[in-house]
Chains A and B, each alone.
Chain A
């Protein structure tokens, strides 16, 4: 096995470049090294001007998402040896504006995340004296899968609808809305549904399924959105045929 591998990294320096360019670096190809290790080697030893985001290096913070050989990946979970003999193309996450080199602008996602109200919504706050909320393992099971999201945005990078329509709320935000809708402690389904049962919410999704394929945490956002479509449709039918019941619904 070769002991070095070539990384072709996208460079974009707005103060001097009008367009992104590719720059090639050679890094050691150790058995246990991931692409992130390669990038850190570049920054430490070869070219300190390279900019990229990373943090936990163990697949839980969601910072190091990039496009590796055309696929959205967490660079801390993508081994160099899997791509030997290389070269490996490393580009920033697709569908987001590039700020510099491998760093993308995430403001759009952050604003959409707030829009789905990703917290437990209660009609009336429970007083402390009543103690904690209790949940059975079955109730936890209902939403646990969707709570695994690390906000890495690989799903936004994979989703062609988000690429074509920046107004689309997107897979992770909708999966997180479902995570709270299905939580037995939450009473905010109706509020979320009013905001999300719109053309740029769940109805923009055409079930491509690419988001689920890209997700490193098996959140299955596509499944979450389809289930949301079904519950939104049933709620719509209920409101249509029985409008008197829908005033205050959960």
Chain B
């Protein structure tokens, strides 16, 4: 009669109360909301790639299409989407680098490298890679 997970409720085995998790569980704590926003940044990462593929297509088609692409990027709707995307990809980067120390334990000469150094080196790498990318694109 019944089993471990669905016990048979009797007079001597009273009914447990199980609360259903609300669909809006993520609104109930600030940290849950930040988590969901962090996860939704993935949508804007995907848009970023799609936008860059539009750029690649324009480059492939020639000089005029490339200029048209730059012009299209000025369109208010495109700018608005890109502004929100920029916020979310930066948010993704910051949350990613801040979590890196928790996921990686690096030991040097026996002692554990402090988390702040790991995060800092990630940020440094971000700065270096960004500078390099800008240098390559701008004609270095």
Q: Which of B3-32 contact A (CB under 8 A)?
A: 4-5, 14-19, 21, 25-26, 28-29, 31-32
Q: C-beta contact mask, A144-178 vs B, less than 8 Å → 1, else 0?
A: 00000000000000001001100000000000000
Main secondary structure of the interface of B (DSSP, over half): loop
- Interface flag for A43 (CB, 8 Å): no
Task: Give the contact stretch, choosing among B55-63, B79-87, B97-105, B132-140.
Answer: B97-105
Q: Are B17 and A209 in contact (CB under 8 A)?
A: no
Q: Are A160 and B102 in contact (CB under 8 A)?
A: no
- Interface flag for B39 (CB, 8 Å): yes
| 8 Å CB contact of B35 from A107, A209, A230 | A209
Q: C-beta contact mask, A16-48 vs B, less than 8 Å → 1, else 0?
A: 000110000000000000000000000000000
| 8 Å CB contact of A209 from B21, B102, B105, B110 | B102
Q: Are B4 and A213 in contact (CB under 8 A)?
A: no
Count how many chain B residues have C-beta atoms less than 8 Å from C-beta atoms of the other chain.
24
Q: C-beta contact mask, A177-200 vs B, less than 8 Å → 1, else 0?
A: 000000000000000000000000
Q: What residue in chain B is nearest A164 (Cβ atoms)?
A: B21
Q: Are B16 and A210 in contact (CB under 8 A)?
A: no
**Residues of B with C-beta under 8 A to A105:** 16
Chain A nearest CB, measured from B7 CB (Å): 9
Query: What is the bound-complex CA distance between A73 and B29, given in angstroms?
Result: 15
Query: What is the bound-complex CA distance between A105 and B14, given in angstroms?
Result: 12
> Could you name 7 residue pairs across A and B whose Cβ atoms are closer than 8 Å?
A98-B18, A160-B26, A209-B35, A209-B99, A209-B102, A210-B35, A226-B102
Taking Cβ atoms with an 8 Å cutoff, the residues of B that contact A are 4-5, 14-19, 21, 25-26, 28-29, 31-32, 35, 39, 99, 102-105, 110, 112
Taking Cβ atoms with an 8 Å cutoff, the residues of A that contact B are 12, 14-15, 19-20, 70, 94-95, 97-100, 105, 107-108, 111, 138, 141, 160, 163-164, 206-210, 212-213, 220, 222-223, 226-227, 229-230
